[in-house]
Amino acid sequence: MRFEKVSFDQFKTDFIDAYKHFNLGMVLDFYFFERIEEKGLRLTTIAENIYHDLVKPRRSTIGSAGYDFFYPIDLHIPENITVKIPTGIAWNPGDQTDTVLSIYPRSSLGIKYSLREPNVVSIIDSDYYGCEQNGGHIFVCLRNEGTSGACHIKAGVAYCQGIITRYLITDDDNTTATRIGGIGSTT
């Protein structure tokens, strides 16, 4: 079982999509780019720089349950904005298929900014790894509920955490279907 970086091509595709369609441009522009056109930067170049500096999730202490996710550049989430962050990370459960990765915002960000996931918690199933549609690329959606103003997360500071747990199935479970797609593809 381990965390891995997704391929650069997968990250680039997902980064550009998130930048153009899911408020990521607003979140990154505020501190990182001012105006991309004025600086002559292309989204591919920006994706390359971010991808190069991505680090795999890790626990902060021996007693930590969660693996912290970090982003290599500042994130600025204005009030009442939801952002979709392509983490550049995939979770490989190995042969431990009876496990699940749950993603939560960092507790301190929830307390200080009312930062939350719109779906409360993200569930990354063991068969999400390596799926054809996105290679198991984990995305994190965060919403700033606006109770304490804009949320600023400095580069290299944890913004969410993943907790790996085992799960059980019922005695009469007879599921035989296999995953063929990415997010939201199972129903």
Highest mean pLDDT: which of 113-127, 153-167, 171-185? 153-167
- In a domain, residue 181? The reply is no
Rounded to whole angstroms, the Cα distance separating 14 from 8 reads 10
Q: Which two tokens stand for residue 154?
A: 């400095």
- In a domain, residue 18? The reply is yes
- In a domain, residue 39? The reply is yes
With a cut of 60, say whether residue 62 has pLDDT above it. Answer: yes
- In a domain, residue 184? The reply is no
Q: pLDDT value at position 22?
A: 78
Residue 145 has, within 13 A of its CA and on its CB side, a CA count of: 13
Per the confidence metrics, is the pTM higher than 0.75? Answer: yes
Q: pLDDT value at position 76?
A: 86
- Domain span including residue 114: 2-166
- In a domain, residue 91? The reply is yes
Mean pLDDT on 51-66:
95
CATH of the domain at 23: 2.70.40.10
- In a domain, residue 182? The reply is no
Mean pLDDT on 15-38:
66
- In a domain, residue 54? The reply is yes
Mean pLDDT on 105-124:
87
Indicate the range of 12-26, 50-64, 83-97, 163-177 predicted with least confidence: 12-26
CB atoms within 10 A of CB 133: 14
Number of domains in the chain: 1
Mean pLDDT on 143-166:
90
- In a domain, residue 171? The reply is no
Q: Which two tokens stand for residue 164?
A: 């790996």
Indicate the range of 87-91, 101-105, 128-132 predicted with least confidence: 128-132
Q: pLDDT value at position 123?
A: 93
Q: Among 182, 84, 186, which Cα is nearest to 133's?
A: 182
